[in-house]
Amino acid sequence: MSQRIKVAVSGAGGRMGREVVKMVLEDAGLELVAAIDMGPVGADAGVLAGKPACGVLLANDLDAALAQAKPDVIVDFTTPHSVFNNVKTAIRHKVRPVVGTTGMSKEEVAELDKLCREQGIGGVIAPNFSVGAILMAKFAAQAAKYFPHVEIIETHGDQKLDAPSGTSVWTAEMISEVREELRQGNPEEKETIDGARGAMYNGFRIHSVRLPGVFAQQEVIFGGPGQSLKIRNDSYERSCYMPGVNLAVKKAVEYTGIVYGFENVME
């Protein structure tokens, strides 16, 4: 491993990808060696990120870009439709994946873990790289031991492709680990409009809101006799994820196999 970690960014032309490019260029311990996106091909990745030209031009062929640049790590912020194949391609090139794209199933994550171990490399897949969001989920899991009646409301911009969000599903998983399944609400309850009560997960509900002008919010609401408890995280801009992505890039080179969840990187 070279002294500087060589980084490729998949989805470099997108809003999160540009933020990752900026973060890499500003860290003396990292070196941007490839930027992949479906457009605008040939544009300088630094300029797209609001930085001076860096000489790394956007390419649209992931396989060729990895073969030529030989990065140590690839950061993927693309789409739920492409992320799984992107990561398989990276692993085939022995490039360690750091993935913030949500939408992969547990089975897909397990397959990627197996492929990484076969290649002797590691990676990080995290539904959320925000420290505040991680703490919110951890606090919610603690509260669920005492408040088994719970619902999750997550709000994102209307361009988000997956619902519910990866963060809300991960939060629900953490809650379920300490909460015996309880189908809450009135047993005679009936939706007069289909979907009004949200998605059911292990007996409690997840509600997804998609609106323009919103970035990312999540609230976990607990109810008990005569009281309620609300745990909420608000993210206002994409820069809040970059310290976490930065740490994951540096940790990924130390791992073998996939580490799932940024909380495991933090600890």
pLDDT, one tens digit per residue, over 44-88 is 999 999 999 999 999 999 999 999 999 999 999 999 999 999 999
Name the E strands within the chain: 5-10, 30-36, 58-59, 73-76, 96-99, 122-125, 149-156, 199-201, 204-210, 216-224, 227-235, 257-260
Spatial separation of the C-alpha atoms in residues 113 and 108, rounded to whole Å: 9
Q: Which residue intervals of the chain bear CATH 3.30.360.10?
A: 131-236
Max Cα-Cα span within the chain: 64
Architecture of domain 131-236: 2-Layer Sandwich (3.30)
Spatial separation of the C-alpha atoms in residues 151 and 131, rounded to whole Å: 22
> Which of 94, 138, 149, 160 is labelled catalytic?
160
Q: Which residue intervals of the chain bear CATH 3.40.50.720?
A: 5-125+239-266
Predicted structure pTM score: 0.81
The answer to whether domain 5-125+239-266 has CATH 3.40.50.720 is yes
Q: Which residues of 156-172 are buried (b: 16+ CB within 10 A; e: fewer)?
A: beeebebbbbbbbbbbb
Whether 156 is catalytic is: yes
Question: Per residue in 105-129, pLDDT tens?
Answer: 999 999 999 999 999 999 999 988 9
> Which of 22, 93, 156, 251 is labelled catalytic?
156
Under the banding of pLDDT at 50, 70 and 90, the label for residue 228 is very high
Rounded to 5 degrees, what are φ and ψ at 243? -60, -35
